Amino acid sequence: METPIESVSRVIRQRKTLKVFADEPVAEGLDPHVVEALIATAGWAPFHFPAANVHLRGNTLNALEPWRFYLFDAAACGNLRKILLHEGDQTKIPRMLAAASAMILVTWLPHPSKTGNNQLFEPTQINMEHIAATSAAIQNLLLAATAREIKTYWSSGGRLGKPEQMKTLGIPSGEILLGSVFLWTENFTDLPTTTGKMRQKRSPISQWSKWVEVPKPA
């Protein structure tokens, strides 16, 4: 019988990037209740600061969490794929949308810039921690999916994160895409797949962690 410690460790190690490509829509949808259960688990991520008021006023999604999750079922993935193809998208995204059982766009909510410069967002402590919290929520989502044997891919999202694209999807301006998470439930033995290019490049923990010795104060 697996202990909770073993279960957590297994699921974390089992989480693995998988990209699946199809030329035509092939995926059966994922039960919306399952998607919502995954999101509910994701939302238990830690977060340090509330989102700025500018993101709460006048928006249907007005929670103080610094992240937003936009859920696409297989039908929505299919329609989005058609829109992208119509726009001439030659990236791998339309082919992944054809294979996805669901896709989730995860944005984070930057604090408004005080300097008014052209940066995507201001490099402040709060913004750093908003990104960190949203990343933790995405990782929760990946782990919750993995525990249900749903395969996942956290993509930067490419053109899905462009302001004009987000606008057409009803995502408020000012939000920044942190991840486009693809969920795959089918057994795609006949479809091309790839894994993450960094998967096998992990280093031993001694190369990225060390015990810190603090001399005893005199």
Give the footprint of ligand FMN on this chain (CB under 6 A).
16-17, 154-156, 195-199
The 8-class DSSP code of residue 148 comes to: T
Report which residue's Cβ sits closest to ligand FMN. Answer: 196
Query: Least distance (Å) from ligand FMN to the CB of residue 91?
Result: 10
State the Cα–Cα distance between residues 52 and 73, nearest whole angstrom.
Answer: 29
Task: State which residue, 119 or 195, has the beta carbon closest to ligand FMN.
Answer: 195
Task: State which residue, 112 or 196, has the beta carbon closest to ligand FMN.
Answer: 196
Query: Least distance (Å) from ligand FMN to the CB of residue 181?
Result: 10
Query: Least distance (Å) from ligand FMN to the CB of residue 89?
Result: 14
Task: State which residue, 38 or 178, has the beta carbon closest to ligand FMN.
Answer: 178
Own/partner contacts of 196-203, CB < 8 Å, gap of 24 or more, are 196/16, 196/17, 199/16, 199/17
Give first-to-last CA distance, the chain, whole Å. 50
**Is the distance from CB of 15 to CB of 138 less than 8 angstroms?**
no
3-state secondary structure (DSSP) of residue 144 = helix
Task: State which residue, 53 or 156, has the beta carbon closest to ligand FMN.
Answer: 156
Nearest-CA neighbor of 68 among 183, 184, 142, 171? 171
Query: Least distance (Å) from ligand FMN to the CB of residue 12?
Result: 10
Nearest-CA neighbor of 147 among 15, 5, 2? 15
Query: Least distance (Å) from ligand FMN to the CB of residue 122?
Result: 20
Task: State which residue, 29 or 148, has the beta carbon closest to ligand FMN.
Answer: 148
Q: Measured between alpha carbons, how far is residue 40 from residues 44, 56, 129, 141, 210 in Å?
A: 7, 20, 21, 9, 35
